[in-house]
Amino acid sequence: MGIWAVLGPGLCAAPAAAESASRQPWVQSEVIYRAQTFGAARYGAFGIGVGLRFSYGLEASAGCRLLLGQFDRRAGFSAFARTTLYSRRGAWQPALGLELEAASSTRSSTAELSGSLTQRYTERDTALLRIGIVASPLRFQGERWRVGLASLRLGTPLNRDLGDRLYLGVGLLEIGWLL
């Protein structure tokens, strides 16, 4: 009920003049901080993506991210694809989406956690494919730009730990430009 109260009216409303075209391509960059629920594998991600926005409240995007770990000094990479529903209320544009992410490596390293329960937990983190929900309540758009702050990402691995392991991410900043 609550999400429909925010997204519903904007999805059903007629498109604004700036959205009169059926499709609008855009480019975005993002900065994300992520952590596993057990307190291990904290890392930052810097990404760039491209997308297509439709006038009826739907966006599709894809991109790649550079992953920098807390314990692991090696950088990793990931690719993502996302489908998002959005609502437009003036400059405010809250959104809720589903994201699929494929990573080059897991972002946990047990080098500094030897002999602990956390080490055993992170050794099981072998998922390279994750699915998750992205909520962006503080997203704003002007005529040619878009800025998002404090988006929330909840994900789970697509392996035997599906639903048992939760990844939490906070999108610190997202900046986008309409092409």
Nearest 5°: the CA angle 142, 145, 149 is: 90
pLDDT digits (tens, 9 = 90+) for 91-117: 999 999 999 999 876 554 445 455 555
pLDDT digits (tens, 9 = 90+) for 132-151: 999 999 999 998 898 999 99
Sequence spans of domains, the chain:
22-178
CA–CA distances in Å: residue 77 to residues 7, 27, 58, 63, 153 = 32, 19, 27, 11, 18
- What letter would DSSP give residue 107? S
- Looking at domain 22-178, its CATH class is mainly beta
pTM of the model: 0.74
Q: Given this model, what pLDDT does residue 86 score?
A: 93
> In the numeric block, which tokens belong to residue 1?
């009920």
> In the numeric block, which tokens belong to residue 97?
């989406």
